[in-house]
Amino acid sequence: MDLHQIKVFYAAAKSGGFTRASQELHLSQSTISQHIKQLEDTLGAQLFMRVGKRVLLTDAGHLLRDHCERILQDVKNAEMAIRELSGMQRGKVRLGTGATTLIYQLPPVLESYQARYPNIELVIVSDTTDVLIRDVQAQRLDLGLVMLPVTGNDLQLTPLCEEELLIALPSRHPLARKTALTVNDLRELRFILYEKKTVMRSLIDNWLAGLGVTPQLAMVMENIEAIKSLVGAGLGASVLPAHAVGNDALDRKVKMLRVQRHRLHRQLALVTLKSAFIPNAVSALSELILKELGGKKGRTV
């Protein structure tokens, strides 16, 4: 049983057939079949069976697939560890995070990282927490910087700082003259909120529900800069991180207020895959993020 046979078998087992495996590996179907037959002869067990037009794994095939997954991961980790011997003179780090964090919190970290490691390529992906977690689990990303809560027994989670979320009002709104809002004030507002699929929206919805408030929706969108712009134009209120509004001309059109006795916070966390080899370049970025965003001791979820 050689490594090439293992890769061919795993591709066929993962994709559910020889046709897709041949496309993925750029091999002919006859070559795929030949490698599988050689592997079956070596092991003395049938690995696939045909049911109509479908190709399914046998019990032996299922068992081998689980072992192959670990073997191939170990091989990948070994290759990466050997490449690390060359130091941090080259390489790539793939980081995924949300738009809010990318716009308002990461720039100083990324600037510092590039100054220290100019030959490391940074690939930054912005998406929802659910998508980013799937990308970390599939090893399309080395590192995720996401909002809690996050679940997954295969993930290593390092909680970071909490940040306060505030009610964002048009500065000319009558309620903007107040120093703090009441729960009843929230019932008067029309909100511009994030899409339902986001962790941020779930956090806001749960908080409002706990206050007995069903928000009146004016608009739903994903882009925080667009939300802030529309709030400033007087088209509705929103819930934004405190650091999202500064002192430029646009931001002066937005007033940020707390709700009396009912503060709302979100917490960020660094997420990696437990089984993945963590290169020095990724560790260095993690350390900078921890330093900038106030890391705590990591825990497993």
Helix (H, G, I), strand (E, B) or coil at 162: strand
Determine the average pLDDT of the residues in 64-70. 90
Sequence-distant (≥ 6) Cβ neighbours of residue 52 within 8 angstroms:
none
**What does 215-267 look like in DSSP terms, one character per residue?**
PEEEEE-S-HHHHHHHHHTTS-BEEEEGGG--SSTTGGGEEEEPBTT--EEEE
The whole-number pLDDT of residue 78 equals: 80
Side chain identity at residue 241, one-letter code: P
In the chain, % of residues over pLDDT 70? 94
One CATH from 1.10.10.10, 3.90.640.10, 3.30.365.10, 3.30.930.10 for 3-85: 1.10.10.10
| pLDDT tens column, 96-113 | 999 889 998 999 999 999
Domain ranges in the chain are 3-85, 86-161+268-300, 163-266
The superfamily CATH assigns to domain 163-266 is Periplasmic binding protein-like II (3.40.190.10)
Are both 3-85 and 86-161+268-300 of the same fold?
A: no
The whole-number pLDDT of residue 279 equals: 87
Determine the average pLDDT of the residues in 16-28. 85
pLDDT level of residue 216 (50, 70, 90 thresholds) = very high
Residue whose tokens read 């510092």: 112
User: Do 179 and 257 touch, CB atoms closer than 8 A?
Assistant: yes
Q: Which of 128-132, 246-250, 262-266 has the lowest mean pLDDT?
A: 246-250
pTM of the model: 0.69
Question: Helix 59-83 to helix 3-15 angle, to the nearest 10 degrees?
Answer: 120
C-alpha angle with apex 204: 199 to 146, nearest 5 degrees? 30
Mean pLDDT of the chain: 89
Between CA 173 and CA 299 the distance in angstroms is: 44
Q: Does 3.40.190.10 match the CATH number of domain 86-161+268-300?
A: yes
pLDDT level of residue 200 (50, 70, 90 thresholds) = very high
Between CA 142 and CA 273 the distance in angstroms is: 8
User: Do 18 and 33 touch, CB atoms closer than 8 A?
Assistant: yes
User: Do 146 and 266 touch, CB atoms closer than 8 A?
Assistant: no
The whole-number pLDDT of residue 73 equals: 84
| pLDDT tens column, 134-182 | 999 999 999 999 999 998 899 999 999 899 999 999 999 999 999 999 9
Q: Which of 49-58, 64-73, 100-109, 217-226 has the lowest mean pLDDT?
A: 49-58
Tokens describing residue 148: 């809690």
Q: Which of 4-13, 86-95, 219-228, 239-248 has the lowest mean pLDDT?
A: 86-95
Determine the average pLDDT of the residues in 233-237. 97
Residue whose tokens read 């529900």: 209
DSSP label of 179: S
Neighbours of 60 (CB within 10 A): 15
Query: Does residue 294 surpass a pLDDT of 80?
Result: no
Query: Does residue 246 surpass a pLDDT of 60?
Result: yes
Residue whose tokens read 């909100």: 191
pLDDT level of residue 296 (50, 70, 90 thresholds) = very low
pLDDT level of residue 74 (50, 70, 90 thresholds) = confident
pLDDT level of residue 299 (50, 70, 90 thresholds) = very low
pLDDT level of residue 23 (50, 70, 90 thresholds) = confident
Determine the average pLDDT of the residues in 104-126. 93
Closest alpha carbon to 271 in 165, 163, 137 = 137
